[in-house]
Amino acid sequence: MMIYKILRTPEWADLQAEGSSAGAPVDVADGFVHFSTAAQVQVTLAKHFAGEDDLVLLACRADDLADDLRWEPSRGGALFPHLYRRLRLSDVQWSRLVQLTAGGHVTGSLE
């Protein structure tokens, strides 16, 4: 199963340059890298990135992160994937820009 990380373009550029990242400021503050499932991405975008442009969606295989990935309750008790180590560029299977339209964020189809 794929899980998804949303980064701002400067954060994505830092990950590409450094090869790993502790994530966005909220990830650093919380001590883990926040991910979303395909079903959770749109709500995450609306709640945490409303009106923001220049976002990148990263896809990672949950099985590849298994030893460091925990599924923990968050919004409304739903389980969210949290990575308890730095996100590595080698973890990223693909990336794409998230478009901001008048109707909200558009990610394209997710697995």
User: Of 3.40.50.2300, 3.60.20.10, 3.20.170.20, 3.20.20.70, which CATH number belongs to 2-102?
Assistant: 3.20.170.20
**Rounded Cα gap, residues 87 and 69, in angstroms:** 11
What pLDDT was estimated at residue 75?
74
pTM of the model: 0.94
Q: With a cut of 90, say whether residue 49 has pLDDT above it.
A: yes
- End-to-end Cα, the chain, rounded Å: 8
Q: Residue 62 — φ and ψ, nearest 5°?
A: -60, -40
The tens digit of pLDDT for each residue in 50-105 reads 999 999 999 999 999 989 999 999 878 899 999 999 999 999 999 999 998 888 88
What are the tokens at 46?
Answer: 């609306």
